[in-house]
Amino acid sequence: MEAILILEDGQTFYGQGFGAKTTAIGEVVFNTGMTGYQEVLTDPSYKGQMVIMTYPHIGNYGINPHDMESSHPHVEGFIVREFCSTPSNYRSLNTLDRYLRSQGIPGISGIDTRALTRHIREKGSMMGILSTNGTDKKELEARLRSFPKIIGRDLVQYVTIKNTMHWGQEVSSQWYYDSIQPLGEKRFRVLVYDFGCKWNILRLLFSFGMNVTAVPANTPAEFVLEQNPEGIFLSNGPGDPEGVPYAIENVRKLIGKKPIFGICLGHQILALALGARTYKLKFGHHGSNHPVRHEATQKIEITAQNHNFAVDAKSAEKAGLEITHLNLNDGTVEGMRHRELPLFSVQYHPEASPGPHDSLYLFQEFYRMMETHS
């Protein structure tokens, strides 16, 4: 089937459709990972976005139940140079085409993804509309013009869990990392604010010796303190951190009460709760090969990232935060720690393991922080 992708600045791309026969709207971003398309599809942080994969051949190892980062995909649309309809992998149980079709998500292939990526890099990420059902171009353009932008929207409400969830041995044992052992005899109780949490974060928290309870994003701080956990974790998630003021307010009430560790959106929410500022990046960071420098050791970590917003460094320092990690591509803040209070956070995804396990020490630091303050 024929497919069309229209960007808000009028740029139009024609290609072949795959996946669902439908129309979708989202912010168009590009991901530079050579593998991991299934993790990208099921990462709740991509809610509201259509993803371009810069690697040209996608779908060649199919879809399997073990690489899921949530129960279903969250991308609005999928954009590739060439998709493979006949995958070859011993774990594959489905094709990319059938999987997206079953989930109601459209895809477009056969377009010049290099040209599209260069356009996004030059002009910045922007809204787009993707149709595989033959809708008239003028109608698509009208729908795109009337669709709200990402800035200021609460996308977390669409991906957070609805009820409290316990993540224990019965669901973690099959994912247990043989190379990871609990760091002490005590299993600390950690409460996770689910802003769109990836499953691998929960697996690693458990593997490092923590009993995990996830709660919805709008859970009051008073309820969290009543549970009396040893630590609080702020998860990744989609969209603009300023679009979830209820999360910022709840985190503000928790600061100084318990050790806190934040990742991605949780990192940004923590910064805002402390009085720092965030801003939108031109085209964001999306991929599994971003170099980050740990300032204390000067070591370089190869990291996975997925975010369109960043923390302003000067405002963070005024809020009592020390910048612990920097992005070597553009100098943006990738990690911070409070100078006095037991809390720290990173912008990237230490759980994603894009080949190396450079950043797993952060889970150890969280455990040690709880040991010190319990």
Of the candidates 39, 74, 264, 301, the residue annotated as catalytic is: 264
Weakest-pLDDT range from 183-187, 192-196, 231-235, 308-312: 183-187
Topology of 156-373 in CATH? Rossmann fold (3.40.50)
The residue ranges of every structural domain in the chain are 2-145, 156-373
For residue 173, is pLDDT > 70?
A: no
Contact 85, 110 (CB under 8 A): no
CATH class, 2-145 region: alpha beta
At residue 169, the pLDDT reads 53
Residue 172 has pLDDT above 80, yes or no: no
Active site residue 322: no
What integer is the mean pLDDT of 29-54? 96
DSSP codes of every residue in 182-209:
-SSSS-EEEEEEESS--HHHHHHHHHTT
Q: Is 349 a catalytic residue?
A: yes
The CA-atom distances, in angstroms, between 175 and each of 26, 68, 201 are 32, 12, 11
Q: What pLDDT, on a 0 to 100 scale, did the predictor assign at position 66? A: 87
pLDDT of res. 176: 45
66-70, 79-83, 102-106, 242-246: least confidently modelled range: 66-70
Q: Please name which of 43, 31, 47 lies closest in space to residue 67, comparing C-alpha atoms.
A: 43
- Concerning whether 264 is annotated as a catalytic residue, the answer is yes
pTM score, whole prediction: 0.95
Catalytic residue among 8, 69, 334, 351: 351
Once rounded to an integer, what is the mean pLDDT over residues 257-281? 98
Distance between CA atoms of residues 27 and 32, nearest Å: 16
From the candidates 119, 325, 338, 349, give the one annotated as an active-site residue: 349
Q: What percentage of the chain reaches a pLDDT higher than 70?
A: 94
Predicted confidence at residue 180, as pLDDT, reads 62
